[in-house]
Structure 1
């Protein structure tokens, strides 16, 4: 199923590795399967609460992995850091369970994260592919409508919207352009306001009637908070509503799946013409730690492999994405529990079931959307490794034969 890290997984004879060179600076054999197995052993020990033995393996892995080596080295380095945080948190909580001192942190400065997100958007096709495909579905749904309202969850810097605004401007009468209103949600009001200002300036340059409304939602919101805010959104009868959930729905899973269904039913009641959904194609929400760990190891191995194939080892952008963006996600999946665990990704079939049970039907993505996504890959990411698949009227983008992101459209 996977690429380099498990290509030797079936080799069980330890003597086979005697002829591999050792890095004199590290003193450990370098085969991918050896370090992968050590990582898994460490996770198994943690799941059995043998933290002393797990700590010994973490020390070994910390000494032998590097954020500057090949993709195996780098993925092992990030997972080792995450396991270390989990072990330290357990030890810390046991030592001062009665104290109110904070446990070792896994969060990153919001500005650093935002900067890493923009870098991720530049050097990998996943975010651009999600935005492009969702935009095409929205563009096709709004055809012929004069008043358009987009409810966008998790707006961040709003990088999705300039291409859509440009497409709307090009396809409309410059003397009588349609009006566009975006309600953008996020947990940082200042970022939202800056985003709104940038989009407003861009819309003016295109001659579009445009309004942006920032809607502040706490980071890691409860579904109740989100539902309360939804009730405050002004849906005007003559407006055509499009709802955009790119890398958002999984954030609501920390409460309960029923809350996600309630959220989706509330959206359905707002009668949108289209709802676009993009999610990572992985089950990082498994209640059993070891299962979650294995799923994440497979998923991020493919992600790190894709970066290795498309960027040089000394690329600063590559390091930023690996250490800040992916590193933060890995730490959250592996080391966090309860309220703090927000990266609760689910596979496509789970979202299909939740959407259908909330009253939505799948809208097939168009042949034009497919050729557009293929063109994006060919022009900007010419590596053979990126694979685009059309399954059940939805798109999946992955590395080699492992799907990593899905995009689908609903009404």
Structure 2
């Protein structure tokens, strides 16, 4: 029923304002009611409820049905909020019982609208492209629709991933069963669902395994993550995590700082090194702690499912009742619940994309073929549906957004880990006492996966799995083998050393079993020859020397502070260049002052003579080139930010026309990183102190890698990735 527009707003109040049932009017009334509830104003609440109740209708147009559902949720919130609303009862706000769908009903229900099919098409296309060439595909399906995406994926696997040499890959499907799942609800058990899917896969000649893991979104799916960490390694297996409108049930960061959050889940997911993660979510924001702002966002998004329902569900039909009861449940959760009970916490795509990037994922585009497939599907539905291409400013990757009458509804995105390590292939029994058809080999990809698996086992204090993976790696690695085997041997010793000192769980290991060979101490001739064997250091020598020579032209004295891993092996070439390039008729060669740092426990390569002897050799060599040279040793520690060096340089007497050059060759990373301790002298502090000395030039040569993560698995992964590339 629609009120007469000239009727007073509520009994006892006269007003010239008119009311109607359009969307803007309804939104204002609902917000007015919400404000009254939040202000504990019982009179105003009662009056606005009366007005809205006369305008709203569960059988009316889309705006009226939305208002009816929102009103029930507001009454529910008020009835449980304060004794001031004792005239209300929760019963008056009750929603219809949620329907439990059969598999056929749910499949038909999903097909009626692009709401889910849009994400299915985009995600399946990305998954198929990502898993080509793998003999096994493990999909973790975190989906609101209870695996309704999987039959289409199975069909595609059977036709698109088959060739003359290879049958379709084995499909392993892992699903999560949680307490109190959100609608739509399934009318059969997941065990029955699994049997149906395995049976369907068999008709497509796809071998399939189905597994259920009991886990809770409220604790960040910790049980799922733990189980995936413990899963035995299978070579040449792709791990795909398909997130279809379920990740927003993991608590967002505003709920509790102590709760497992979405960002933490994504970082833990990243540490599993998945082949791909697909992320399909509704593009709205229900996270505000301000109830009024949240209600406004809810109204401005949830009109869409009611509006679209008019295009595919008959008024008064049983299917519409099921559909809108599910929507009503979501509305009630956003409005009437707070704290951990409020699980409907949608976030906009921009925030999700930021989270993914912060977790070290990078986006993958879908391509034109997928866009055409989506457009074809949309043409099967009402004219209001559309798709827009959204390019994120941060990575220039094109994503797809489903729209209704131009409004964003659902976004689809695909992600891969940055610097991902791929899988492996071939055959070896996994470990003693275990029979398995799974295969392993000694190639680089396989070895990387085994080492990461071992590292995860150590961090999880899983002694059994650690022992098993160590056994496998030990049989594949060799200190005398090829480059991959030698790298694996070294990394294995390091992992054993870490495990042996980490926990009593690894008492079967000893640090001695991880011991490395004694480091060689090089003579000057040996070290010079060693450095010349590879561009690793010479590359930096050439670049730095050229920059230094250009910077010190015209100076009568050049003071070089040489912070170098190679114990001054760069200096003879620099002296040669000074003798030939810095001489002219008007001026003799500049005096060269060389300051070096001697620290306790220097990293390799180690020098077999003292720095005093090294200095004598350099001064003698400089004399043969007619370059006057002074050599000085300063005892300083990188662990305290070279504070003694900085102090001495501050105290050095000022010399006229003297250039000060600080040559940093692969040593500054031994200064404490900021993440180590906020109280420790850091690299940034050292550089600021260096700047205060007003040097003529600073050269910085470093290895381009990141070993700073406080998360061991991330650090091990990046270290492994770097050294594998160099093997």
TM-score (norm 2): 0.49
1:252 aligned residue: 250
| 5+ residue gaps, structure 1 | 1-14, 20-26, 96-101
- What is the Cα deviation at residue 227 of structure 1? 3.8
1:407 aligned residue: 412
Pairs within 5 Å for 1:112-191:
112=100, 120-154=109-143, 157-171=146-160, 172-173=162-163, 176-187=167-178, 191=189
Residues 1:396 and 1:240: Cα distance change in structure 2 (over 3 Å): same
Residues 1:103 and 1:60: Cα distance change in structure 2 (over 3 Å): closer
Structure 1 window deviating more from structure 2 (365-374 vs 339-348): it is: 365-374
Conserved? CA contact 1:154–1:248, under 8 Å: yes
- What is the Cα deviation at residue 29 of structure 1? 4.1
1:267 aligned residue: 269
Residues 1:41 and 1:117: Cα distance change in structure 2 (over 3 Å): farther
1-structure distance, mates of 2:40, 2:224: 37
RMSD of aligned C-alpha atoms? 3.0
Deviation readout 1:8-29 (Å, 9 max, x if unpaired): xxxxxxx9x559xxxxxxx974
Conserved? CA contact 2:75–2:93, under 8 Å: no
2-structure distance, mates of 1:235, 1:350: 33
2:279 aligned residue: 277
- What is the Cα deviation at residue 158 of structure 1? 1.3
Conserved? CA contact 2:141–2:147, under 8 Å: no
2-structure distance, mates of 1:251, 1:120: 22
* Secondary structure, counterpart of 1:151 in structure 2: strand
* Secondary structure, counterpart of 1:145 in structure 2: coil
2-structure distance, mates of 1:235, 1:55: 62
1:43 correspondence with 2:34: yes
Residues 1:263 and 1:108: Cα distance change in structure 2 (over 3 Å): farther
2-structure distance, mates of 1:186, 1:63: 41
1:9 aligned residue: none
- What is the Cα deviation at residue 295 of structure 1? 0.3
Residues 1:223 and 1:202: Cα distance change in structure 2 (over 3 Å): closer
Q: 1:314 aligns with which of 316, 324, 334?
A: 316
Of the two, which has the highest radius of gyration? 2
Structure with greater helix share of residues: 1
- What is the Cα deviation at residue 238 of structure 1? 2.3
Pairs within 5 Å for 1:186-265:
186-187=177-178, 191-218=189-216, 220-254=218-252, 259-265=261-267
Conserved? CA contact 1:119–1:317, under 8 Å: no
2-structure distance, mates of 1:114, 1:49: 44
Residues 1:242 and 1:206: Cα distance change in structure 2 (over 3 Å): same
Conserved? CA contact 1:153–1:186, under 8 Å: no
Structure 1 window deviating more from structure 2 (366-375 vs 231-240): it is: 231-240
Pairs within 5 Å for 1:69-84:
69-84=60-75
- What is the Cα deviation at residue 66 of structure 1? 1.1
Structure 1 window deviating more from structure 2 (139-148 vs 210-219): it is: 210-219
Pairs within 5 Å for 1:328-367:
328-367=329-368
Deviation readout 1:339-389 (Å, 9 max, x if unpaired): 10000000000001100000000001121111111111112x1x2211211
2-structure distance, mates of 1:219, 1:48: 33
1:11 aligned residue: none
Deviation readout 1:45-85 (Å, 9 max, x if unpaired): 22333244223312332243211111111111111111111
* Secondary structure, counterpart of 1:388 in structure 2: strand
2-structure distance, mates of 1:152, 1:205: 21
1-structure distance, mates of 2:228, 2:76: 36
- What is the Cα deviation at residue 307 of structure 1? 1.9
* Secondary structure, counterpart of 2:289 in structure 1: coil
Conserved? CA contact 2:134–2:236, under 8 Å: no
Deviation readout 1:207-240 (Å, 9 max, x if unpaired): 1111111111236444544544443444523211
1-structure distance, mates of 2:131, 2:297: 38
Conserved? CA contact 1:42–1:57, under 8 Å: yes
Structure 1 window deviating more from structure 2 (308-317 vs 41-50): it is: 308-317
Deviation readout 1:250-303 (Å, 9 max, x if unpaired): 111255587212211111111111100011100011111111100000001122
1-structure distance, mates of 2:330, 2:341: 12
Residues 1:121 and 1:156: Cα distance change in structure 2 (over 3 Å): closer
2-structure distance, mates of 1:106, 1:217: 29
Conserved? CA contact 2:127–2:276, under 8 Å: yes
2-structure distance, mates of 1:354, 1:32: 34
1-structure distance, mates of 2:68, 2:62: 10
2-structure distance, mates of 1:347, 1:117: 27
Higher relative contact order (CA 8 A, sep 6+): 1
Conserved? CA contact 1:66–1:74, under 8 Å: yes
Residues 1:225 and 1:53: Cα distance change in structure 2 (over 3 Å): farther
Conserved? CA contact 1:117–1:325, under 8 Å: no
